[in-house]
Amino acid sequence: MQLKAEELSSQISSLYIKADRIANTIWEGFHNRNKDGVGDNFWQFRKYEYGDPAHLIDWKKTAKSNETFIQEKELQTLQNFFIWRDTSESMNFSSLDKVNTKLYRANLLTLTLTIILSKSGENIALNGINSKLFKGKEAINFISNQITEKVIDNYKSVPNLNDIKNNSYVILIGDFLNNIKDTEKTVKELSNRGINGIIIHILDPAEVNFPFKGRINFNGLEDEKEILIGKAESVRSDYKKTIKFHIEKLKKLTNSYSWKYFLDISDQEPSISLNKIYNLLANINTTELRS
């Protein structure tokens, strides 16, 4: 039991180090290129006046003008971000030893996004475990500690909608292999409450490419019936058409509610995926978040 506790502690530490490194790289990259991050759209500026503290000067904006500007946070502009990740049994799948499970990937994305959003001063909650909103270091510490905790059974496959505050922003992370009508029900209910969001769709490379050959007995992770296929490669074409159609339906669903969609294959370099995801978050229209 002690060994398991030590292994778990080591895994959490390794996950945090990786997430922190990726988050800092993305954050520095955005600001070195003078690009606006998630919270940057909510700063207001005024011209410098005699007596203003020098540390309030926004040098980035000042450099673009002949005037000197002071940066001030607008009142009530901090956003509430609710992050939910699927922890159902299907997320424990990995087709190869060198590829992390989808759940590990979801945890890495969750923690990295938490670190980045905390740098913008946003309020963050981990949906499905605790509805309390945290910010800054408190958010990072809480979510990094809670990320391996047991999720309430009812919220393994779907988020806890009742705990998500109106006019918030939601980040849903999972493999979304369930019936698309269930996902639509979730997105529709949230949208009707003025809640915008993004679906981060995690799939193992084998779930996209179906590389299997020969006689294979497929066992489901969620009590599905076993499927024996005598020649797996014979169904590859049909399978790939089916998964492609499912992905397209998810894209259309998110577009119809003005949500964002991102497909993340679990063997891809996580920093590349996270950089693209942060680009999507940084391009959120102000009115979308405040509507």
pLDDT tens digits for 102-126? 999 999 999 999 999 998 889 999 9
- The full set of domain ranges for the chain reads 41-74, 80-290
Residues 40-89 have pLDDT tens digits of: 544 556 777 766 667 678 777 777 777 787 766 544 456 899 999 999 99
Reply yes or no on whether the pLDDT at 223 is more than 70. Answer: no
CA distance 90 to 67: 56
Reply yes or no on whether the pLDDT at 282 is more than 90. Answer: no
Q: What is the mean pLDDT of the chain?
A: 83
Predicted model pTM:
0.81
Q: Which two tokens stand for residue 258?
A: 């003005």
Reply yes or no on whether the pLDDT at 34 is more than 70. Answer: no
Residues 167-211 have pLDDT tens digits of: 899 999 999 999 999 999 999 999 999 999 999 999 999 999 988
2 pLDDT band, cuts 50/70/90, is very low
Query: Would you mind telling me the total number of residues written for the chain in this entry?
Result: 291
Minimum mean pLDDT among 142-156, 158-172, 260-274: which range? 142-156
User: Which CATH code of 1.10.287, 1.10.8, 3.30.70, 3.40.50 fits the domain covering 80-290?
Assistant: 3.40.50
